[in-house]
Amino acid sequence: MAGLAFFGATRVNTDPEPMNDPRLKNIVIVGGGTAGWMAAAAFAKVLGPHYAIRLVESEDIGTVGVGEATVPHLKLFNNLLEIDESQFVRQTRATFKLGIQFNDWGRLGDSYVHGFGTIGHDVGLLPFHQYWIKARQAGKADDIGAYSLNTVAAPRGKFMVSATDVPATSPLANIAYAYHFDAGLYAQYLRGYAEQRGVQRTEGKVAQTLLRTDNGFVEALVLENGERIEGELFVDCSGFHGLLIEQALHTGYTDFTHWLPCDRAVVVPSEITGPPTPYTRSTAQAAGWQWRIPLQHRTGNGHVYSSAHISDDEAAATLLGNLDGRALGDPRVLRFTTGMRKKFWNKNVVALGLASGFMEPLESTSIYLIQSGIAKFLNLFPQRDFSETLIERYNAQSVFEFERIRDFLILHYCATERDDTPFWNDCRTMSIPDTLQDNIRLFRDSGRFFRSAEEMFAAVSWVQVMLGQHITPQTYHPLVDQMPMQDLQAFIAGVGKVVASCVDAMPPHAAFIERYCAARAGS
């Protein structure tokens, strides 16, 4: 996956303000939740105390509030905020994540892991999987998952952070991982962080959005109690409805439902029944798929489905019938339309989180997209004139990112051989974007994949999913033949042995948490 870097300094130095200072200083965030408080925390850290940051939210307005699975990029965000990892894990009741296990996606009975990190190691200009293709065709290699630390460790329930007492070339020296955590607790944690750094929180509901008559920019918000809140920059974190970006500015929405047909999810937490797995589980169902996200104190569950193929009651029954433990409440139904705003930054409003668009949580991209939006915005941070050049670049980058993630998600649905239900028949036979079709055609030809610019998912992710769902390369890069078959076999076998021995040395996931970052009663 792509790296995600914020600009160099963690704080913008501000000298005494000159007359007619072009810098904007008054930022209003509408909506709390994960998106709002991530933005507030990052702005407080990076922009510093000379910027007035105000967040408006209402405790009467609920958030989606389910257990969240993330990708490794979140570590960069937490590092920017200088958050202590052990404290963060305890406070959010988190567990660790090495990847996602996909069950029954390509065929009934299938199971593969899309793991973070690397597969084997490159040889010269070629990635490991090119050599693996030749060995596999000759019957001299195991499944591709046998050659990645994460994909071997995850099903075995092993976990540790990167070791500092091993050679730099060891797989244990650079372990890629993410987290499962309670999104509500994460928002609370970031709220405390942000308020300590000067962010002002205002309780209340927005009753009216006032626009300037000259240029249509948002001028102020009026709360239900009559309070008027003015700002120069407004960040819309108000959820699906997009209070500012859509209801006030009528930005428009690009719908992806014809490619990603699931439009609802039913969610429920359940009791833990054993040690937490260091991976998210995604199991394909008759008309969608079901997630399982293990936390320290409960398990998060959800069934994402197509309402055109199954009713809400049937979806809830499927969810409840496939829980590992007793449900801790009644199932809740969430409705959504997969897609994105036609502009993510419109005039003086930037949308983050669900206000900017929605990608179903199949590859845990929701929080990443918040983080990426914050990073792009800080890199393109405007002055009071709101340069159209900056806005256009932000929107172009955001559209590109959403469309490439969209293609990766579609891959999971279209690359299936399942024909046992109308839903899977529709997915298997649907037309797909040309960009995705080109990637599949190239990989099927000779196992090659070329990453475009700064798209989120790197070749290692595409390779694992395509192979996991039976997109088999016909051949391999011709430079592979420069390695004699005997050497090739030894190379492949050696990588497998190193990975297996490293996983043997790793502690159980639960033992690692208990030793370093277990949440205690009352903490």
The two tokens of residue 116 are 């973070």
Q: Tell me how far the alpha carbon of residue 379 is from its chain's centroid.
A: 20
Q: How far apart, in Å, are the Cα atoms of 401 and each of 204, 376, 394, 460?
A: 33, 11, 11, 17
Task: Examine the residue annotation and report whether 343 is marked as an active-site residue of this protein.
Answer: no
Which of 394, 511, 408 lies closest to 459, judged by CA?
408
Identity of the amino acid at 520: R
Rounded to an integer, what distance in angstroms lies between the CA atom of residue 51 and that of residue 49? 5
Select which of 75, 97, 134, 158 is catalytic. 97
Q: What gap in Å lies between CA 77 and CA 108, rounded to an integer?
A: 38
Q: What residues contact residue 32 under an 8 Å CB cut-off, 6+ apart?
A: 55, 57, 63, 187, 191, 201, 237
List the alpha helices (DSSP H) in 204-258.
Answer: none
Cα 141 from Cα 169, distance rounded (Å)? 22
Count of residues making up the chain: 523
Question: Given the DSSP bridges, would you call strands 349-351 and 233-236 parallel, antiparallel or unpaired?
Answer: parallel
In sequence order, what DSSP letters do the residues of 288-344 get, joined into one string?
Answer: EEEEEEE-SS-EEEEEEE-TTTS-HHHHHHHHHHT-SS-BSS--EEEE---EEES-S
Q: Which residues does the annotation mark as catalytic?
A: 97
